[in-house]
Amino acid sequence: MNKTHSIYPITLAILFFLSVLTTGGQAATAKDNIKTISVLPFKINAAQKLPHIQDGIQHMLYSRLSWRDNVVVIPSTTIKKHLSEMQKNSTAAGIDDIARLTRSDFVLTGTLTRLSGSFSIDAKVYDIENKRYMAFFEQSKKSDVFINKVSRIAATINKKIFDRTTGTWEKMEEEKLAYIKEMKRKNPEYMMKTPQWQDTEESPGWKIWKYLF
């Protein structure tokens, strides 16, 4: 029997085994890099109860923050199951509890304030491991742009927290550049006197979550 022929199948088997190990290792690494985030029900400040709005915000953020192989948003059913187990005496302790119970890397909380036809959205994303949070804000005098404002919040979170560029974020950047150009054209003297006028970041950056220490 030709020795070359007898060795050939063994060599193929070894190569196949090594490829499985390599692929398995890469898959494990990719899985380890996936981030998880819990989106808690937003607090509603309004003259009447708006449960459909509260649920709508949670569903919109779930769909907009989910990112295959990168970000997993904990289902709202899982969140609701653990809400009663959160500590009520401290916001920080409650966030820590929900992160532990859902095994989340991040926890998103927020408030919707509605007055007449106008509204504002305040949101915070807590980075559990690094003990810090980042705040986000949108407002409008028109209630019919509510979905757009939630989308902008989600786009900013995607970019600032997960370094993900979405279509909404690109549109926001285009709007910002167009605004800057328009302001320069209209008020060139004012721009020269106040160079900080265009520092209009949606989020001021990370802040220490000191209450967990």
Rounded Cα–Cα distance for residues 135 and 196 (Å): 21
In a domain, 120, yes or no: yes
CB within 8 A of 91, min separation 6: which ones?
Answer: 109, 211
In a domain, 2, yes or no: no
The predicted pLDDT at position 89 comes to 57
Tally of domains within the chain: 1
The predicted pLDDT at position 21 comes to 42
Rounded Cα–Cα distance for residues 105 and 122 (Å): 20
The predicted pLDDT at position 83 comes to 87
User: What is this structure's pTM?
Assistant: 0.75
In a domain, 64, yes or no: yes
In a domain, 159, yes or no: no
Tens digit of pLDDT per residue, the chain (213 long)?
554 455 555 554 444 444 444 444 433 334 568 999 999 999 999 888 888 889 999 999 999 999 999 999 999 999 998 888 776 656 778 899 999 999 999 999 999 999 887 899 999 999 999 999 999 999 988 888 989 999 999 999 999 999 999 999 999 999 988 877 777 777 766 565 555 545 544 556 888 865 544
CB within 8 A of 73, min separation 6: which ones?
Answer: 36, 37, 38, 39, 61, 62, 65, 66
Domain harbouring 89, CATH code = 3.40.50.10070
What residues make up the domain containing 141?
33-153+199-212
- Which residues of the chain form beta strands (DSSP E)? 35-39, 43-45, 71-73, 106-115, 118-127, 132-140, 207-208
In a domain, 179, yes or no: no
In a domain, 133, yes or no: yes
Q: Which two tokens stand for residue 19?
A: 């490829």
Strand 132-140 versus strand 207-208 pairing type: antiparallel
In a domain, 44, yes or no: yes
